[in-house]
Amino acid sequence: MLNIGHRGAKGHVAENTMESFLKAFELGADGIELDIHLTADGEAVVIHDETVDRTIKNASGFIKDFTVADCSKVGIPTLVEVFHVLPEDAFLNIEIKNPEATLVVADEIEKFVRLGEIHYENVLVSSFHWEVLGKLSQINPDIRLGVLSEENSKEALAFAKEIEAYSVNVWFELLTPELIALARQHQIQVHTFTVNSPEDITFAKKMGVDAIITDYPDRV
């Protein structure tokens, strides 16, 4: 079972920052999860919201109006920068927040796999925007896909089967023995988010999930 740091080690360090990713590994995470938006000049950058208002001090506005240079000035990493610091064999869950970033993410993954810096087996692209996953399954079947859902695990599993996804990534409250059994039957992994309390972590482990996404990798 994989221990995946949510937005890095969000429980300890500011989310989706280089410091947070490094902290997650320091705390024993097998991998990290991060969120992707697209800049005005077409770069995939790592930030959860479509604006910088909540997470970046003394700045405001939409990421789509920021250039990659603007992002760099305020500490928003690019996906490529994360590829460069990813430890050998670490797992990376790239969540696409803005569907317009899809092709850029696919291109960067392909490029870094070709360079030998990352491997398809270590990267999972997930999204709540299922059309993004459908598109990726068409353009590069080597990219592993995770169908995100916080509402309906059955529909997520059905869609995962349809596009031959690697996993369903479901909110932990949706976990049931039936879901796990059905997923296993179809060789689809079950990843769960965002599991933070010791009780919920114990519950997810008992359910037999393949990965726990947590703000506290030190608790898993």
Helix and strand numbers, DSSP H then E, in the chain: 8, 9
Q: How far is the CB of 185 from Ca ion (least distance, A)?
A: 27
Q: How far is the CB of 114 from ligand G3P (least distance, A)?
A: 26
Please, are residues 19 and 10 in contact by the beta-carbon 8 Å criterion?
no
Closest CA to 206 of 158, 169, 172, 166: 172
- Give yes or no for residue 215 binding ligand G3P (CB under 6 A): no
Q: How far is the CB of 69 from ligand G3P (least distance, A)?
A: 25
| Closest CB to Ca ion among residues 126, 189 | 126
Size of the site for Ca ion (CB under 5 A): 2
Tell me whether residue 191 is one of the annotated catalytic residues. no
> Distance (Å, rounded) from C-alpha 179 to C-alpha 144?
20
- How close are the terminal C-alpha atoms of the chain, in Å? 10
Count the Cβ atoms, other than its own, within 10 Å of residue 54.
Answer: 10
- Binding site partner of 144, from ligand G3P, Ca ion, none, Cβ cut-off 5-8 A by kind: none
Q: How far is the CB of 192 from ligand G3P (least distance, A)?
A: 9
Cβ-closest residue to ligand G3P? 193
| Closest CB to ligand G3P among residues 30, 33 | 33
Tell me whether residue 48 is one of the annotated catalytic residues. yes
Find the binding residues for ligand G3P in span 52-91 (CB under 6 A).
Answer: none
- Three-state DSSP string of 112-156: HHHCCCCCHHHEEEEECCHHHHHHHHHHCCCCEEEEEECCCHHHH
Residues in the chain: 220
Q: What is the DSSP letter of 71?
A: H
| Closest CB to ligand G3P among residues 5, 86 | 5
Residues that bind Ca ion (CB under 5 A): 35, 95
Active-site annotation, residues: 6, 48
